[in-house]
Amino acid sequence: LRMEALLRRAIDKDEIHLAYQPQVEIDSGRLIGVEALLRWNSPELGQVAPSSFIPLAEDTGFIGQLGQWVLQEACRQMVAWEARGLAVPKIAVNLSVRQFERGGMAAAVAGVLQDTGLAPQRLQLEVTESVIMNTGDALQYVNDLHAVGVCLAIDDFGTGYSSLAYLKQLPVQTLKIDRSFIKDIPQDPDDEAIAIAIIQLGKSMNLSVIAEGVEREDQAAFLLRHGCNLAQGYLYGKPLAHGEILARWGVEQ
Ligand code: G
Ligand code: G
Ligand code: MN
Ligand code: NA
């Protein structure tokens, strides 16, 4: 209860910010995008992990406001980087089940794009496979978001149970291979087989595939060898502050 009260005030008190994790092309090292990840630094509680305050926000209905803030901040940051000479191709923003299942996301997203002036195709919304499968009107909502012109990615792919027939109907562009399958490559042949299967599936459905949680060169080499050239993970960078993204990928001043 105390955490809930503190969280509700956290936005106004500037305790919340976004960190940005680089997404890169493995062979060239080129920055292809960033994933925006929420951070809460509470004077009372210290650094609170998103895995504890996001479920709380979902349960208490605060996720609507929090999610709206994330969208606005992410799009605003893209425009701000550009003003400083860094055009990050894309920003990925996570949508929680409570945001998604309520509908109305498309209108909210369109409003934020309008406000900030960010081109829709530079915003990628990430929805987990389980969120899609557990939302009755998921197809409708995904279609609505697609109509706004944003990109859609299925997060944590492989951990849910999407039927391929269903997947085929969804206007998504990207599959994110869950970190749990990448972690034990190349030691675990089952994980290798799963990763290869997802890469092949993406290819045959004309989707881009990005691997999450890439921490080592041998994992990157494996992915490249099997036709996946996009990755996110500590090998390329932890979630960084906006200034660190600028310092590392921006133009030399
Ligand atoms: O670094 P990491 O601990 O940030 O993220 C933990 C989890 O929290 C991940 O599953 C991530 O998708 C989720 N998460 C991080 N930021 C957001 C956000 O802005 N919205 C939602 N819904 N989930 C987020
Ligand atoms: O669920 P989602 O994929 O949105 O979560 C992103 C989470 O994964 C964040 O908590 C982020 O900090 C974490 N993460 C990103 N890259 C790595 C990595 O290479 N290794 C580990 N262990 N975690 C990572
Ligand atoms: Mn994600
Ligand atoms: Na994930």
The predicted complex's ipTM stands at 0.96
Output the CA 155–ligand 4 centroid distance in Å.
5
CATH architecture classification, 2-248: Alpha-Beta Barrel (3.20)
Statement: residue 191 has pLDDT above 60: yes
Average pLDDT, the chain: 95
Residues 6+ apart with CB under 8 A from 190: none
- Please report which ligand is nearest the Cα atom of 38: 1
pLDDT one-digit tens code per residue, 12-69: 999 999 999 999 999 999 999 999 999 999 999 999 999 999 999 999 999 999 999 9
- Tell me the C-alpha distance between 134 and 97, whole Å: 9
Q: Could you tell me if the CB of 202 is within 6 A of ligand 2?
A: no
Q: Is the pTM of this model over 0.90?
A: yes
> How do the domains of the chain map onto residue ranges?
2-248
Local confidence band at 103 (pLDDT 50, 70, 90 cut-offs): confident
Q: Could you tell me if the CB of 213 is within 6 A of ligand 1?
A: no
Alpha-carbon radius of gyration of the chain = 18
Q: Which of 104, 110, 79, 105 is nearest to 94 (CA)?
A: 105
**What per-residue confidence (pLDDT) applies to 160?**
83
Q: Could you tell me if the CB of 156 is within 6 A of ligand 2?
A: yes
- Tell me the C-alpha distance between 5 and 178, whole Å: 33
**What per-residue confidence (pLDDT) applies to 252?**
59
Backbone angles phi, psi at 234, to 5 degrees: -60, -25
Q: Could you tell me if the CB of 47 is within 6 A of ligand 1?
A: no
Higher pLDDT, 50 or 165: 50
Strands (E), 26-78: 31-42, 46-48
- Tell me the C-alpha distance between 197 and 42, whole Å: 42
The string over 136-159, giving b where at least 16 C-beta atoms fall within 10 Å of a residue's C-beta and e elsewhere, is eebeebbebbbebebbbbbbbbbe
Query: Cis bond leading into 186, ω under 30°?
Result: yes
Whether 208 contacts 202, CB under 8 Å: yes
- Please report which ligand is nearest the Cα atom of 235: 2
Strands (E), the chain: 16-25, 31-42, 46-48, 91-94, 123-128, 151-157, 174-177, 208-211, 230-232
pLDDT one-digit tens code per residue, 116-153: 999 999 999 999 988 888 888 889 999 999 999 999 99
Statement: residue 73 has pLDDT above 80: yes
**What per-residue confidence (pLDDT) applies to 253?**
46
Q: Could you tell me if the CB of 94 is within 6 A of ligand 2?
A: yes
Smallest CA separation from ligand 1 atom 20, residue: 94
**What per-residue confidence (pLDDT) applies to 251?**
80
Backbone angles phi, psi at 143, to 5 degrees: -60, -40
Q: Could you tell me if the CB of 125 is within 6 A of ligand 1?
A: no
Q: Could you tell me if the CB of 70 is within 6 A of ligand 1?
A: yes
Question: Candidates 39, 157, 212, 234: which one to mutate for ligand 2, based on the most atoms within 8 Å of Cβ?
Answer: 212
